[in-house]
Chains A and B, each alone.
Chain A
Amino acid sequence: MSPGMSHRVIIGVFDDEAMLLEATREFRAKGLKIIDVFTPYAVHKLDSAMGLRPSRLPWICFFGGCAGGALILWFEFWATMVDWPLNIGGKPWNSLPAFVPAMFEVTVLCAGLATVFAFLVLARLRPGKRPRTWFPGVTDDRFVLVLEESDARFDLARVRSLFQSFGAVSIEERIEEA
């Protein structure tokens, strides 16, 4: 949707994860547009019900780790052999086995920090940000499914009755400023 446009949404609230899961599968199968689902905990199998693709964050983790490990290994060789070669106990200039521990630690550090940083950027989370709450109680025990009324064929009465058949405890229609 283009920014600035308002659109109508319908919000169904559940008090049980199993019903939410069923409802999500059903709505998606019927081709309705699910804006998002809000849950108090990571509901198992909801990602496939919503049709979410696997996250690409593992790539960031992998390349972050590779970059950190390569950088520190280069630095260890450069500092030990090139910039200021120091003979320490007659040990060889190329002390690769001794360079492994620091390399391992920096690899883990960079992989972890890169992943978390990328996650915060992608999920638009930052300290002190005001949350956009669609329905109160999501962080407690409510499961909320938000659908977009996408086109003229959207049959509100049918969606309502579908929500009811899955045991939604509350159904609400709202106009959202995008």
Chain B
Amino acid sequence: MADFVLTTRAPLIAGNKTPADVTRDICHSLEGRPTPLWWGSFLFAASLLLLGTLAVSYEIATGIGTWGVNRTVGWAVGITSFVFWIGIGHAGTLISAILFLLRQRWRTSVNRSAEAMTIFAVICAGIFPVIHLGRPWMAYWLFPYPNTRGSLWVNFRSPLVWDAFAISTYFTISLVFWLLGLIPDLATVRDRLRGGFRQRLASVMSLGWNGSFRTWHRYESVYLMLAGLATPLVLSVHTIVSWDFATGVIPGWHATIFPPYFVAGAIFSGVAMVLTLVIVARKTMHLEDYITLRHIDVMCKLLLLTSGIVGIAYVTEFFNALYSTNPYEEFAFLNRAFGPLGWAYAIMVSCNVLIPQLLWFRKVRRTLWIVFPISILINVGMWFERFVIIVTSLQRDFLPSSWAGYRPTPIELSMLLGSFGLFFTLFLLFCRLLPVVAMAEVKGVLHVGREPRGPDPERVMVGSSAQGRGMDAAGIREGGPE
């Protein structure tokens, strides 16, 4: 119980900040010149993007034959990467909307960058199915529009049409939510910077915001409603993505467990990506007081929870296959674990279920050089999870005569690398052009864990008679890697 009191009363933001400090610290990265580290990362990301662009251009000019897909394995790296990136995006909405509804105030430090991550991840995701169409210039055929062929409408009974609706709605609502959240902060940037491109950008995008509380009052109401809409939306998006598979008859795909399994996996990989990004951002942009070890700690707990759900889903899938006594189901899962792609299955289980178990230890959750590689390994594992689900299920279907292998071509791998290049290029530009922490929201939680009118965290710690918990207090306030 004493522990609980201490945790809720410890300051969310370290360093005893005033609102003016918040403005200065967050705007700092917009005012100076980019560091050599930023340039290095940007050039690296942009080269990957260039590689991906070349690969995609070659593929569009030549045809899907440049990929390793064949008649049996029709979906592979492209669709795997689509599901992977959509999943990454889900953590941003979790943090911005679901944790807002649950009144988790620690979210204010990371929600801006997590939402930016959502937007960029959905952009990366959206590219893959469009490329996979084979004739991407016909992509607008996915939507119902009056045409000269009848009009011939899309088939609303098809999960692929549901997908087009879900992804485009998700992107639009996430973008609107993000831009709305940016308005007050852009007004701050507009009033603070003296001229320059960023100031002009902020002037246009802050829509004439002047801090009027009558506007704030409406704004809060809109924010709450968008959070309420985004919450079922994000659950629906990965549910519908999972229906792309679950409505098929392929053993290994045709399972009722898919929607919750996919949603949990999506949040799992997304939170891991948020951790990867914020661990780098807090260090390079000196945000240790805003994104404290406590933030890292709670996100690690989210990882642990979702890893558990994903682990149970793996076991349930196997159990259902064996319990069904359907030979095709049984074979699909044995083939998944022990077939030619058994190594991918092993990567998936060890990265998603075994390695995250380290996060049970508080010491591990607060040691950045351990959390960082874990967060990357989880994303490797989650990419392989989708690869395993897609490729191993298709590879050996009902008729042994149509069994086939699959090997990705360099074009496919370049596309995958290119999507990472696009993601990091956009994220690095975001870090230079827009405030990476939601200043107006952080200013509203500065008082959390502080005594009113006497902002001194020392008093809080002494007052809560927590002698044995000194490490906790130190961990929260120090902020730096231990």
Contacts and interface: CB of A to CB of B under 8 A. Distances in A.
Given A83-B153, A86-B155, A112-B226, A75 B144 contact: yes
A141 B177 CA distance: 24
A40 B358 CA distance: 41
A133 B453 CA distance: 28
A80 to B, nearest CB: 6
Interface string B152-165: 11111101011001
Nearest to B207: A125
A65 B151 CA distance: 27
Interface stretch (B4-12, B183-191, B281-289): B183-191
A133 to B, nearest CB: 6
Interface stretch (A1-9, A25-33, A41-49, A156-164): A41-49
B184 A139 contact: yes
A138 interface: yes
Most chain A CB inside 10 Å of its own CB: which residue of B206, B219, B221: B221
B14 interface: no
B357 to A, nearest CB: 36
Contact of A102 (B165, B183, B229): B165
Contact of B221 (A37, A57, A84): A57
B219 A106 contact: no
Contact of B209 (A58, A80, A109, A131): A131
B19 A46 contact: no
A168 interface: no
Contacts of A101: 159, 162, 165-166, 236, 240, 243
Nearest to A144: B211
Interface residues of A, number: 68
B155 A39 contact: no
B162 A120 contact: no
B441 interface: yes
A103 to B, nearest CB: 9
A107 B166 CA distance: 11
A109 B173 CA distance: 7
A109 B184 contact: no
B414 to A, nearest CB: 32
Given A101-B166, A119-B218, A123-B218, A43 B213 contact: yes
A14 B478 CA distance: 31
Interface of A: 16-18, 36-44, 46-47, 50, 52, 54-55, 57-58, 61, 65, 75-76, 79-80, 83-84, 86, 88, 91, 95, 98-99, 101-102, 104-106, 108-109, 111-113, 115-116, 119-120, 122-134, 136-141, 144
30 contacts: A36-B212, A38-B212, A38-B213, A39-B216, A41-B216, A41-B440, A47-B213, A58-B221, A75-B144, A84-B151, A98-B157, A101-B166, A105-B165, A109-B169, A109-B172, A109-B173, A112-B226, A112-B230, A116-B226, A119-B219, A125-B207, A126-B207, A127-B204, A127-B207, A131-B187, A131-B209, A132-B208, A137-B191, A140-B191, A141-B23
